Amino acid sequence: MTILIKPDLDDLSHAAVDLLVELGREAVADHGSFSIALSGGSTPRYLYSLLASPKYRNSIDWDAAELFIGDERNVPPDAPESNYRMVQEILSDPLGIKADRVIRWRTELEDVEKVAAEYQTVLIERLGADARFDMVLLGLGSDGHTASLFPRTPALHETKRLAVPNWVEGLNDYRLTITFPTINRAANVVFLAAGAEKAETVAQVIEGEFRPDILPAQGVNPKDGALYWLIDETAAASLKRGLP
Ligand code: 6PG
Give Cβ neighbours of residue 207 (< 8 Å, ≥ 6 apart).
Answer: 239, 240, 241
Asked if residues 174 and 112 have their Cβ atoms less than 8 Å apart, the reply is yes
Ligand 1 centroid, distance to 148 Cα (angstroms): 8
CA of residue 215 to ligand 1 center, whole Å: 14
- The residue whose CB lies within 8 Å of the most ligand 1 atoms, and thus the one to mutate among 9, 13, 39, is 39
Alpha carbon of 169 to ligand 1 centroid (Å): 17
Q: The whole model's pTM is what?
A: 0.97
pLDDT reported for residue 187: 98
Mean pLDDT rounded to a whole number for the chain: 97
pLDDT given for residue 170 in this prediction: 97
pLDDT at site 241: 75
The half-sphere exposure of 10 on its side-chain side, counting CA atoms within 13 A, is: 0
Kindly give the parts of the chain with pLDDT less than 70: 242-244
Question: What does the alpha-carbon distance between residue 230 and residue 52 come to, in Å, rounded to a whole number?
Answer: 20
* Ligand 1 surroundings by CB, under 6 angstroms: 39-43, 71, 83, 139-141, 145-148
Cβ-count burial of 55 within 10 angstroms (0-12 exposed, 13-18 middle, 19+ buried)? exposed
